[in-house]
Amino acid sequence: MDETQRFITDNKQRFLDELLELLRIPSVSADPAYNQDVLNTAEKVAEFLNAAGADNVEVCETSGYPVVYGEKIIDPSLPTVLVYGHYDVQPADPMELWESGPFDPVIKKTEIHPEGAIFARGAADDKGQFFMHVKAFEAMNKSGELPCNIKFMIEGEEEVGSSSLGEFVRNNKEKLKNDIILISDTEIISNDQPSISVGLRGLSYVEVEVKGADLDMHSGVYGGAVPNPINVLSRMIAKLHDDDGRITIPGFYDEVEDLSAEDRAEMAKIPFDLEGYKKSIGIADIQGEKGYSTIERASIRPTLDVNGIWGGYTGKGAKTVIASHAYAKISMRLVPNQDPEKITQLFADYFPTLAPSSVEVIVKPHHGGHGYVLPTSDQGFQAAKKAMTHTFGKEALATRGGGSIPIVALFEKELGSKSVLMGFGLNSDVIHSPNENFGLFNFYKGIETIPYFFQYYTEG
Amino acid sequence: MDETQRFITDNKQRFLDELLELLRIPSVSADPAYNQDVLNTAEKVAEFLNAAGADNVEVCETSGYPVVYGEKIIDPSLPTVLVYGHYDVQPADPMELWESGPFDPVIKKTEIHPEGAIFARGAADDKGQFFMHVKAFEAMNKSGELPCNIKFMIEGEEEVGSSSLGEFVRNNKEKLKNDIILISDTEIISNDQPSISVGLRGLSYVEVEVKGADLDMHSGVYGGAVPNPINVLSRMIAKLHDDDGRITIPGFYDEVEDLSAEDRAEMAKIPFDLEGYKKSIGIADIQGEKGYSTIERASIRPTLDVNGIWGGYTGKGAKTVIASHAYAKISMRLVPNQDPEKITQLFADYFPTLAPSSVEVIVKPHHGGHGYVLPTSDQGFQAAKKAMTHTFGKEALATRGGGSIPIVALFEKELGSKSVLMGFGLNSDVIHSPNENFGLFNFYKGIETIPYFFQYYTEG
């Protein structure tokens, strides 16, 4: 891969400029206001694939946002790697907390990134990361060192549950046929400690509504005598956890995979600085399920978090009103073996039972997704480990990620192939938050490492 | 008062048109955006007082919104009635629930008001009600039947805690000197059953903030391991009531006035249709403190209600984020003898103790106010009762209101005079809510009744 690495070194600045171009388009899939921007981003991705030398590049229509496809088949008898990524991003709010425009990328040096990091929504999740693959492919291709076949599938609905991807995959099994799926949408432990995520949590996401009176009431005239949906919703949410931080939904833990003492001991080896962790996010203390370490709580244990809550008067000053409605968005992170549809149903059955007879409760399911585990014996994992170990000069560890990439379970089911989660981000990238950023070190390290994955995987 | 009543009959339409003019100005004191409108409303009120024949009309500067003053002293040896009211209104939101513009008053017939009701923010609270006094005064004055002296004090900060009124009253004791204060800012039981409010609840209002991490976090990466301010706030709010609906703040009930069995028996006489009550506001069931009737829960018992709550992602779609902050506005309705400052302090001391060590809690006090009781033996109450009984043709009952008019306690302290709460609204006026309305029957009945109050009070 010497030619390839030389090509990368010679084109570093251009690679970065092209990424910034991509980051300037606000492809927020959750907000219809950005509809055209999301579509424009798909076209832009197709352009880059063509420029990199991909064949049969296509912006594939779906019932939602398009999937961008491209491929390079050098020899049908050689293995085929399918690269998955997504070009859509999370909403940028709260806007006021961004130090620079979320869609106006800037390079700034930070403590963790002395050589600079790219600050922009999507810098790490996932534009910056899938783009590493486009550039690594370009480098291998233009250097004549592409060792096997490659296919790209870059979607635009990952942040809203990949609602159209299932249908797309089912309808294009032949086109998407592959031996291994390679995804960079996760983190490494640190820039000194490479790691590969071999486990992901699934997701169940619901929106709940508690309805009291038909309209907002005067809290003086009615206070104390009628149900207050906000107080009621608060009590219901409070009852979803017991005092040990365990989720109270009946049957919630039934299918939870219990890790062996060995596995837990293995996890305990992962370097973790609790004080640094607390300091990095500014919390006085950690909090979670009794009997588990912070790393376990954030990876192998299921969770329930309220992601948003609203009701009543939230403006300036004081309004003495009893709201007619209160709402919350609640998500549950699931571990392997927990079925999202089943968990969502368990929640929908249980939650209303926490309400008094005085109110109405509505539970609206959003998207969900299964958890996932990749055996460390898998050839894909081995190739990724060798590639990272080579470029970082330190042995890559296997970690379990807390986030969800629901589609990896879908891929296994529909395409019958495993996914390798070789991400190059850091927890400190604060994806989904203001000032999301992606280190230049990480961006370039990814581009350099990916070609070795292709080499080692092809060598088998 | 025959001439006066004739004058009223002859000018009904004009009185209504003038009120509509007043209702068209959006005098929302809680929202700085309406600053100029609030000031314009004060000027308009002064105009009407002048037109009605008041002397020394003045828009009095305060540290906040002005107080409009006016008087008619016919004979210093006669008693003086001070009329209090407020020209500011509650915010109109949620706007989308208004069937007509909140500041574009319309007359519509309803089941309760076959002869029509005025739909507009402030129609009943309190523009429509204080304006009855301006018109009753005009009628008595122009008919030469004003039996005693009258003073007007119409403020513009009642909906935001009358923050400047205390200072104004203390600085103008001589000017405001009076024998009795007359206020119409409360309800009657029904248009067939007149009543006078002899008790009001006080108010303590706080805003709370729960802070977790420094910024919003990815719920997949951090979920389960870090404090979620929304979940935490929900648990804290849930702990503010026990399972019997009693407030758990230590010392909260210490000064609560316990009504005698006789008083409670007297209250039980007030006609109350539970099914009709539930139906009128669209709730499946009532809810409140164990051991008390709905009327008691809404009048003689203190309460705690969350008036607003917000945090995290509340936009379209699903965002998997753990918010850094969660907020709530919480108000407590207090009964006579409960001191708002003390209760606010009890809350501020107790609330943070409900939080885990992982979060920071901030309690910001808003305005408050004392409860109030008027003895039914008071001459002012007797005059109001006789006046209402005369014009309604049915004996007026004494009720305890649930709302708060903090300034009545202030008046008693600073001016040494009692306040008579002779309101003409109905619970169904839905003040503070969308589609607030005030019956034409109630508007005119008020104008007709007030002169008799002056007559009976002067006769002593």
Amino acid (1-letter code) at residue B433? S
Q: What is the pLDDT of residue A173?
A: 97
For Cα atoms B46, B49, B54, give the angle at the middle one, nearest 5 degrees: 125
Does B122 lie in the same domain as B19? yes
Strands A195-200, A321-322: pairing is unpaired
Alpha helix locations (H) across A176-228? 219-222
CA angle A334, A360, B329 (to 5 degrees): 80
**Please, is B188 exposed, middle or buried when counting C-beta atoms within 10 Å of its C-beta (0-12, 13-18, 19+)?**
buried
Same domain, B63 and B208: no
- Pairing of β A195-200 and β A106-108: unpaired
pLDDT category of residue A409 using cuts at 50, 70 and 90: confident
- Kindly give the pairing relationship between strand A180-183 and strand B419-421: unpaired
Residues A136 and A213 grouped into a single domain: no
Q: What pLDDT does B114 receive?
A: 96
Q: Say whether pLDDT at A406 is over 80.
A: no
Kindly tell me if the per-residue pLDDT of A402 is higher than 80.
no
Q: Which residues pair with B117 in a beta bridge?
A: B108, B439
Q: Based on the fold, state whether residues A181 and A218 are members of the same structural domain.
A: no
- pLDDT number for residue B341: 94
B positions 131-160 inside 8 Å of A (CB)? 160
A317's torsion region: left (phi>0), alpha (psi -120 to 50) or beta? left
Domain residue limits at B336: 202-256+302-369
- Does some domain include residue B314? yes
A52 pLDDT tier (thresholds 50, 70, 90)? very high
Condensed to tens digits (0 to 9), the pLDDT of residues B374-424 reads: 888 899 999 999 999 999 999 999 888 766 677 888 899 999 999 999 999
Query: Rounded to 5 degrees, what are φ and ψ at A130?
Result: -70, -30
Q: Quick check: A434 and B403 CB within 8 A?
A: no
Residue B318: predicted pLDDT:
85
Is the domain of B251 the same as that of B353?
Answer: yes
| Mutation target vs A (from B283, B299, B303; most A CBs, 10 A cutoff) | B283
- Contact, A322 vs A224, CB < 8 A? no
Q: Which helix (H) or strand (E) holds B348?
A: helix B340-350
The interface residues of chain A toward chain B in range 170-189, judged by CB-CB distance below 8 A, are: 187
Same domain, A9 and A79: yes
- Is there a single domain that holds both residue B4 and residue B133? yes
Q: Are residues B145 and B215 in the same domain?
A: no
CA A314 to chain centre: 31
Please report how many Cα atoms fall inside a 13 Å half-sphere around the Cα of residue A155, on the Cβ side. Answer: 22
Domain end residue (candidates: A328, A348, A369): A369
| Co-location of A116 and A185 in the same domain | yes
Chains A and B: how many Cβ contacts under 8 Å?
376
Q: Is B91 helix (H, G, I), strand (E, B) or coil?
A: coil
In this structure, is residue B275 part of a structural domain?
A: no
Note the pLDDT of residue B139.
Answer: 98
Mutation choice for B interface testing from A332, A364, A433 by most B CBs within 10 A: A433
DSSP strands (E only) in B87-236: 106-108, 117-119, 149-155, 180-183, 195-200, 202-211, 217-218
Q: Can you tell me whether residue A202 is helix, strand or coil? A: strand
Same domain (yes/no): A102, A188: yes
**Regions of chain B with pLDDT less than 50:** none
- B335 CB within 8 Å of a chain A CB: no
Residue A334 above 80 pLDDT? yes
Asked if residue A401 is part of any domain, the answer here is: yes
Tell me which chain B residue has its CA closest to the CA of residue A200: B220
Q: At what angle do helices A440-459 and A2-10 cross, to 10 degrees?
A: 160
Question: Based on the number of CB atoms within 10 Å of its own CB, is A12 exposed (0-12), middle (13-18) or buried (19 or more)?
Answer: middle
Q: What is the pLDDT of residue B280?
A: 87
Which pLDDT band, with edges at 50, 70 and 90, does A200 fall under? confident
- Domains contained in chain B, number: 2
Q: At which of B352, B369, B386 does a domain end?
A: B369
- The answer for residues whose C-beta is within 8 angstroms of residue B265's C-beta and 6 or more apart is none
Distance from CA of A56 to the nearest CA of B (A): 33
Specify the pTM.
Answer: 0.72
- Interval A31-52 mean pLDDT: 97
pLDDT of A180 = 98
Residue ending a domain, choose from A347, A369, A391: A369
pLDDT, one tens digit per residue, over A93-140 is 989 999 999 999 999 999 999 999 999 999 999 999 999 999 999 999
CATH number at residue B189: 3.40.630.10
Q: Cα(A129)–Cα(A19) distance, rounded to whole angstroms?
A: 10
Q: Which of B315, B402, B434 sits opposite A220 (nearest CB)?
A: B402
Q: Which CATH number does the domain housing residue B229 bear? A: 3.30.70.360
Residues B354 and B387 in one domain: no
DSSP B258: P
Alpha carbon distance, N-terminus to C-terminus of chain B: 16
pLDDT of A208 strictly over 80: yes
| A272 interfaces chain B, CB cutoff of 8 Å | no
Q: Is residue A88 part of a domain?
A: yes
| A345 min Cα distance to partner chain B (Å) | 18
Domain membership flag for residue B358: yes
Is residue B64 located within the same domain as residue B136?
yes
Looking at the complex, does the CB of residue B435 fall below 8 Å from at least one CB of chain A?
A: yes
Q: What is the pLDDT of residue B331?
A: 96
| pLDDT band of A316, cuts 50, 70, 90 | confident
> What's the confidence (pLDDT) of residue A97?
93
CB contact under 8 A, B307 and A286: no
Contacts of A315 in chain B (CB under 8 A): 30-31, 91, 93
Nearest to B285 among A219, A230, A358 (CB): A358
Token pair recorded at residue A398: 């296997």
Q: What is the DSSP string of B122-142?
A: TTTTTHHHHHHHHHHHHHHHH
Residue A216 lies in a domain: yes
- What was the pLDDT predicted at B439? 98
The pLDDT tens digits for A128-153 are: 999 999 999 999 999 999 999 999 99
In a domain, A278, yes or no: no
Given a cut of 80, is residue A405 above it in pLDDT?
no
Residues A405 and A185: beta-carbon distance below 8 Å:
yes
pLDDT of residue A260: 85
A271 occurs within a structural domain: no
- Closest to B417 in 3D by CA, of B84, B164, B74: B84
Of A30, A310, A318, the CB nearest to B317: A30
H helices present in A11-148, as ranges: 12-23, 35-52, 127-142
